[in-house]
Structure 1
Amino acid sequence: MSQFRERQRAIAAVVTCNALEVFDFVTYAFFAVQIVGAFFPSTQPQAGLLLSVAVFGVGFIARPLGSVVIGYYADRAGRKPALLLTAVLMTIGTLGLALTPSYAAIGFAAPMLVVACRLVQGFALGGEIGPSTAFLLEIPDERRAWYVSLQFASQGVATVLAGAIGAALSAALGAQAMAAWGWRVPFALGALMVPVALYLRMAMSETLAAAPAPGPARAATPTTPWRPAYLALGICVVAGGTVATYVGNYMATYSTTVLRLPTTAGLLATMAVGLATIAGALAGGRLADSVGRWPPMFWLRLAVAVATVPAFLLLLRSPDVATLLAVSAVLAFLNTASGSGALTALCELFPPQRRATALAIVYSVGVSLFGGSTQFVVTWLIGTTGNPVAPAWYVMAANCVAVLATMFVPETRPAQSRRPRVASV
C-alpha cells in the first residue's frame, strides 16, 4: 500500500470511530426530553428535565479517570491499542443505553443502569481525545492544524447524523412512538456501526512519535518549552469552547422548552450546528496553518464572547426556525474555528512521550467541569431566574475566561517568522 493510501486509511480510522463515539455520547443530549419519561418520571416537568441533564453530566465524571488511564497507556503502549480500547468501551456503554428497560418495567434499576452506561461512555470518551489528537498531529505532514481540525470536523459529522436521524424518526413515528421507543433507535444504529470503525482501527499503523524506539528513551521534541502552568491554562481555554459547544447542543431542548417550537425545529438546529462545526473546524485548521495558532485561537474566541448575548436576544425577539438555525450555525462556526487552532496549540505544547496523557487531562478536565454541568446549569438558571437569555450570559462568562487564558499561551507553529506575542507563564 502506498504511503498516501496508508495515511488516508489511518485518518479515516481515527475520525470515523471518533465521530461514532461522539455520536453515541451526544445523542443522549438531543433526546433528553424523551429520556425523562422513560427513566426519570416526575410530577414536575422541570424536576424531571433536571434529573435527565444531571445524568447527562454523570458521563463527564469518568472522563478525567479515562484520560489519565488511557492517555498513559497510549504514551507507553502506543496510540493504536489505546484507540482500540476506547472503541470497545464506547460500544458497551452505547448498547447498554439502547437495551436498558424503562422505569415502568424494572423500577429504580433503570436509572441506575443508565448511570452505569454513562460512566462507561465517559471513561471511553475521556481516553479518546488524547491518543486520537496526538495521532493526527504526528502524521508526517506540515499541515498539522488541518489534520487536528478533523477531530472537530468528525464531531460535526456526528452532530449532523444525530440531528438527521432524530428528525427523520420524529417525522416518521410521531411524538408518542418517539417517547415510547423511538429515541432508542439512534443508540442502536451507532452500536451497529462500531464494527466498521474497529476494523479500520485494527488496520491502522502506529505513528512515529508513539512507536517504540531503540535505546532507553525517545527524545522529546516539544515545539515550545514545557511548563506545568500550561495544564491550567489549557483547561481554561478548553472551558470556553466546551460551554459554547454544549449550549449549542442544548438548543434542541431550548427550542422546545423555551421557544415553544416543534421538536423538528430543534433537530434542524442540531443539524445546522453540525454543518457549521464541520465548516468552522476545517476553516480554522487552514487558518491556523497559514497565520499561526494564536490569531484564530484568540480573536475568534473573543468573537464568541461578544456575539452570544446579542444572538440570543435576536432569537428571543424573532423565535422562528430561520432565526434559530442562523444563530446556532454562526455561533458554532466561530466556536469550532477557534477550537481548531487551540487544540493544535495545546497538543504541540507537550513532548511526544507525554502528549496523549497531558492533552487528555487538559481536555477531559475542562470538558468534565464545564461540559458535564452546562446543561444542568442553564436549565437551572432559566428555571430559577425566568430569564431565557441566561445560557448566553453563561457562555459569555466562560469565554471571557478563555480569552484571558489564551493571552498566556505561546504561538506553537513551527518556524514562526513573526515575534510571538505572549506573556510569560
Structure 2
Amino acid sequence: MSQSSSERAPPTWRQVAAVVAGNGLEFYDFLTFSFFAVQIGQTFFPSKDPTISLLASLATFGAGFLTRPIGAFFIGRFADRAGRRPAMLLSFSLMGFAITGIALTPSYHSIGIAAPILAVIFRLLQGFALGGEVGPSTAYLLEAAPPHRRGFYASLQYMGQDTAVLCAGLMGVLLSSILSAGDLRDFGWRIALLVGTVIVPFALILRRGIAETLVPAAPADDAGPKPRTPIPWRVVILGFAMLAAGTTANYVLDYMTTYASTTLHMATRLAFGATVAVGLAGLTCDMLGGVLSDRYGRRPVMLTFWIALLIAVGPCFWMIAHFRNLAALMTATAILSGLLNLSTSAMLTSVTESLPMQVRSGTLAIVYALAISVFGGSAQFNVAALTHLLQSELTPAFYMGGGVLIGLVAMLMMRESAPVKLGPALATSAAAP
C-alpha cells in the first residue's frame, strides 16, 4: 500500500539534492542567457545600434517563455500520470541538449541568418524543458516532505534557482575580469553556458535513483469511468496572480546586471555584482522564508515581507541610480531580493499544497509557466524598451512596483494552508488526492 506524506520517511539528502541540483542547473542555463544578453546580442544580432542588438537578444530570451506553457502542459500532465521521476528525467535531458546547442551555435558572421534561427530554436526547446520541470519537481519536494516541513522543502526549489543565479553571477564576474570585451563577446559567454552542461550526466544519474512520490488514484468501485479530480479554480486564479507578480519582480532583479551596464553605464565587472547580490540574498532568505511559513503560516509571512518589498522598491532604485557604485548596487539589490525571497517560498508552498495530488503537477506547471511566460518573459524586454522610450532611469522601479501591488491583492484573498494554522489532520487531507 502507498504511504501518505505523513507516513512516508523523509527523503534522503541524495534524493533532495537530485531534485534541487537538477532544477538549479536548468535555471542556471536558462538565466545565463539573460546575464550575457549584451554579448549574445552582438553575436547573433549584430547591429550598428547597440540598443537594437540588445532588444533582439532580449526578445530571443523571451522566446523561451513562449514554449514554457506547452512543456508544462505535456510534461506536467505526464508527471500526474506516469510519476514525478520520469517527468523530471525527460525535462532535464531536453534542457541539456538545448543549452549545448546554443553554446555551440556559430555567430552571425560565420553562418549568417542560420545563427539567429538556430539560437531561437534551441531557446524554444529550453523553454519547453523548463516549463515541464517546475511542476513535477515542486510537487515531489512537497509530497516527500513531512507535513510540518513542507515550507522548508518547497523553499529548496527557490534556493536551487538562486544558487544558479549566484553561480551565473560569479561566472560573469570571473569571465569579465579575465577576458577583454571582445573575448567576452566572442567566446566568454559560451564558456559560461558550457560549464553547466558538464554537470548534466551526473544530475541524470542522481535523478534516476529518487523514489516516486505520486500516489495512484484509488480505483472506482464499479466498472464505470474513474471520477476526475476537480481543479480548485480559486487557487488557480489567485496562484496565477501571485506567481505573475513574483516572476515580474524576479526578472526585473535578474535584469539589474544589464540595467547597470547599459542604462547606468557601469563597468561590466561591477554590473555583475547585482547578480551576485541577488544570488546571495536568495540563498539566505529562501530557506528562512520557508521555515518561517512552517512556523507562523503562509499568509503572515507572505504579506509581511511583500508589503515591505512594495515600500522598498522606489528608494532602492533611487539609491542605485543616484550613487551608481558597486556598494549602492549590491546593497539595494540585496534588500529587494531578500524581501522578495522571504515571501515567495511561502507563496509557492501555499499554491502547491492547496492543489490536489492527482492534478498537482500539471496544474502547478501550467499556472507557473503561464504566469512566467506572460509576465516574466516580457519583463526584461518591456523594462528595456520603456526605459529607452521614457528616458527615465527609475522605469524598472515603477514596473516592478506595479507587479508587486497586484500580487498583494491576490495574497490578501488567498486562504491559509499551513499545518500550523489548520492542524495536521486538516492539512494532510487538504493535500491528499
Shared fold per TM-score greater than 0.5: yes
Question: 2:180 is aligned with what amino acid?
Answer: G
User: How far apart are 1:107 and its partner, in Å?
Assistant: 0.6
> Counterparts of 2:18 and 2:177 in 1: how far apart (Å)?
33
Aligned with 1:304 (options 298, 303, 309): 309
**Which secondary structure state, in structure 2, belongs to the residue aligned with residue 183 of structure 1?**
helix
> Counterparts of 2:159 and 2:218 in 1: how far apart (Å)?
36
Aligned with 1:29 (options 22, 30, 34): 34
> Counterparts of 1:158 and 1:5 in 2: how far apart (Å)?
25
User: How far apart are 1:212 and its partner, in Å?
Assistant: 3.5
Note if contact 1:67-1:360 (Cα within 8 Å) is conserved in structure 2. Answer: yes
Cα-to-partner distance string for 1:351-393 (whole Å, 9 max, x where unaligned): 0000001111111111111110001000001100000100110
Aligned with 1:17 (options 8, 15, 22): 22
- Structure 1 window deviating more from structure 2 (84-93 vs 296-305): it is 296-305
Map 1:325-344 to 2 at 5 A.
Answer: 325-344=330-349
Note if contact 2:231-2:359 (Cα within 8 Å) is conserved in structure 1. Answer: no
- Is 1:199–2:205 an aligned residue pair? yes
Aligned with 2:286 (options 265, 281, 290): 281
**Which secondary structure state, in structure 2, belongs to the residue aligned with residue 10 of structure 1?**
helix
Question: 2:154 is aligned with what amino acid?
Answer: V
**Corresponding residue for residue 276 of structure 2:** 271
> Counterparts of 2:421 and 2:368 in 1: how far apart (Å)?
25
User: How far apart are 1:111 and its partner, in Å?
Assistant: 0.5
**Corresponding residue for residue 377 of structure 1:** 382
Instruction: Kindly tell me the number of residue pairs found equivalent between the two proteins.
Output: 410
User: How far apart are 1:279 and its partner, in Å?
Assistant: 1.1
Aligned with 1:92 (options 97, 105, 122): 97
Structure 1 residues 226 and 295: CA distance shift in structure 2, 3 A: farther
Cα-to-partner distance string for 1:287-333 (whole Å, 9 max, x where unaligned): 10000011111221222222111111111121110000001111011
> Counterparts of 1:212 and 1:229 in 2: how far apart (Å)?
25
Superposed CA RMSD: 1.8
**Corresponding residue for residue 83 of structure 2:** 78
- Is 1:237–2:249 an aligned residue pair? no
Note if contact 1:294-1:411 (Cα within 8 Å) is conserved in structure 2. Answer: yes
**Corresponding residue for residue 39 of structure 1:** 44
Note if contact 1:134-1:355 (Cα within 8 Å) is conserved in structure 2. Answer: yes
Note if contact 2:387-2:393 (Cα within 8 Å) is conserved in structure 1. Answer: yes
**Which secondary structure state, in structure 1, belongs to the residue aligned with residue 106 of structure 2?**
coil
**Corresponding residue for residue 388 of structure 1:** 393
**Corresponding residue for residue 412 of structure 2:** 407
- Is 1:315–2:320 an aligned residue pair? yes
> Counterparts of 2:422 and 2:66 in 1: how far apart (Å)?
42
Question: 1:380 is aligned with what amino acid?
Answer: A
Note if contact 1:239-1:399 (Cα within 8 Å) is conserved in structure 2. Answer: no
- Is 1:111–2:116 an aligned residue pair? yes
Question: 1:394 is aligned with what amino acid?
Answer: Y
Residue ranges of structure 1 left out of the alignment (5+ in a row): 419-425
**Corresponding residue for residue 157 of structure 1:** 163
User: How far apart are 1:215 and its partner, in Å?
Assistant: 3.1
**Corresponding residue for residue 397 of structure 1:** 402
> Counterparts of 2:231 and 2:312 in 1: how far apart (Å)?
34
- Is 1:251–2:256 an aligned residue pair? yes
Note if contact 2:309-2:339 (Cα within 8 Å) is conserved in structure 1. Answer: yes
**Which secondary structure state, in structure 2, belongs to the residue aligned with residue 212 of structure 1?**
coil
Question: 1:164 is aligned with what amino acid?
Answer: L
Cα-to-partner distance string for 1:182-227 (whole Å, 9 max, x where unaligned): 11001111111111110100011111xx14366349x99x9xx963
> Counterparts of 2:67 and 2:237 in 1: how far apart (Å)?
19
Aligned with 1:60 (options 60, 65, 90): 65
Note if contact 1:230-1:409 (Cα within 8 Å) is conserved in structure 2. Answer: yes
Structure 1 residues 254 and 143: CA distance shift in structure 2, 3 A: same
Note if contact 1:226-1:349 (Cα within 8 Å) is conserved in structure 2. Answer: no
- Is 1:361–2:363 an aligned residue pair? no
- Is 1:173–2:179 an aligned residue pair? yes
Residue ranges of structure 2 left out of the alignment (5+ in a row): 1-7, 424-433
- Structure 1 window deviating more from structure 2 (165-174 vs 95-104): it is 165-174
Question: 2:303 is aligned with what amino acid?
Answer: F
> Counterparts of 2:109 and 2:10 in 1: how far apart (Å)?
51
> Counterparts of 1:18 and 1:247 in 2: how far apart (Å)?
21
User: How far apart are 1:229 and its partner, in Å?
Assistant: 2.6
> Counterparts of 1:349 and 1:417 in 2: how far apart (Å)?
12
> Counterparts of 1:4 and 1:406 in 2: how far apart (Å)?
32
Cα-to-partner distance string for 1:71-99 (whole Å, 9 max, x where unaligned): 10000000000000010010111001110
- Structure 1 window deviating more from structure 2 (189-198 vs 300-309): it is 300-309
Question: 2:188 is aligned with what amino acid?
Answer: G
Aligned with 2:216 (options 192, 205, 212): 212
**Corresponding residue for residue 298 of structure 2:** 293
User: How far apart are 1:417 and its partner, in Å?
Assistant: 5.8
> Counterparts of 1:354 and 1:100 in 2: how far apart (Å)?
38
Note if contact 2:294-2:420 (Cα within 8 Å) is conserved in structure 1. Answer: no
Cα-to-partner distance string for 1:31-87 (whole Å, 9 max, x where unaligned): 001011100011111111111101110000001111111110000000000000010
> Counterparts of 2:220 and 2:105 in 1: how far apart (Å)?
49
**Corresponding residue for residue 422 of structure 1:** none
Task: Please list every run of at least 4 consecutive aligned residues from structure 1 whose deviation after the TM superposition is greater than 4 angstroms.
Answer: 3-6
User: How far apart are 1:4 and its partner, in Å?
Assistant: 7.0
**Which secondary structure state, in structure 2, belongs to the residue aligned with residue 261 of structure 1?**
coil
Note if contact 1:71-1:360 (Cα within 8 Å) is conserved in structure 2. Answer: yes
Aligned with 1:121 (options 119, 123, 126): 126
> Counterparts of 2:193 and 2:126 in 1: how far apart (Å)?
12
**Corresponding residue for residue 138 of structure 2:** 133
Question: 1:342 is aligned with what amino acid?
Answer: M
**Which secondary structure state, in structure 1, belongs to the residue aligned with residue 393 of structure 2?**
coil
Note if contact 1:145-1:288 (Cα within 8 Å) is conserved in structure 2. Answer: yes
